[in-house]
């Protein structure tokens, strides 16, 4: 049996369109999911979980985020420091709030403390904030599903 052989040169260019479609869709997906606001969330902190921890309906206005690691360091603006050095940045925050026309007592301090951190240290951090006039605190916890309990 004889097969006819194609003698002409074939133009074998792959069709790029479906691949580019998919790639753009992937880019759009990751772009939408990218949350720059999460930059304040430090991966070293393992938050305690609570079934009552539900995200707030309205985001807090200009909160001060303090993160407490399990080795008694406070992370403020991405910089770890011992609790004794917390006064200076808190004073700066207080000045900034007062200069922008707000009241320190109305500002909220979000406290993201590690689940293994000592309660006494957490209370010390709260006390430092109270010394600088802060009154409102939001103790942060991660959401716990009912099945986890």
Q: Is 118 in the site for another protein (CB under 8 A)?
A: yes
Distance of CA 145 to the CA centre of its chain: 20
Q: Is 142 in the site for another protein (CB under 8 A)?
A: yes
* Structure-block tokens of residue 7: 């003698």
Closest Cα to residue 126, out of 142, 139, 115, 140? 139
DSSP summary character for residue 55: -
Whole-angstrom Cα distance, residue 136 to residue 138? 7
Q: Is 78 in the site for another protein (CB under 8 A)?
A: no
Q: In angstroms, give the least distance from the CB of 78 to another protein.
A: 16
Q: Is 83 in the site for another protein (CB under 8 A)?
A: no
Residue numbers of the site for another protein (CB under 8 A)?
Answer: 16, 19-20, 23-24, 26-27, 30-31, 33-35, 38, 41, 47-56, 68, 105, 108, 110, 113-120, 122-124, 126-127, 130-131, 135-143, 146
């Amino acid at each position: 049996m004889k097969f006819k052989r194609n003698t002409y040169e074939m133009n074998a260019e792959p069709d790029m369109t479906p691949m580019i479609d998919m790639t753009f869709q992937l880019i759009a997906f990751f772009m939408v999911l990218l949350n720059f606001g999460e930059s304040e969330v430090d991966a070293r902190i393992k938050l305690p979980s609570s079934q009552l921890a539900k995200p707030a309906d309205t985001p807090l206005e200009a909160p001060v985020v303090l993160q407490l690691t399990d080795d008694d360091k406070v992370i403020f603006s991405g910089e770890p420091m011992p609790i004794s050095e917390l006064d200076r940045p808190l004073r700066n925050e207080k000045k900034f709030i007062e200069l922008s026309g707000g009241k320190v007592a109305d500002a909220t301090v979000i406290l993201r403390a590690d689940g293994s951190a000592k309660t006494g240290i957490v209370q010390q951090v709260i006390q430092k904030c109270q010394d600088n006039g802060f009154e409102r605190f939001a103790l942060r916890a991660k959401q716990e599903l009912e099945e986890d309990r």
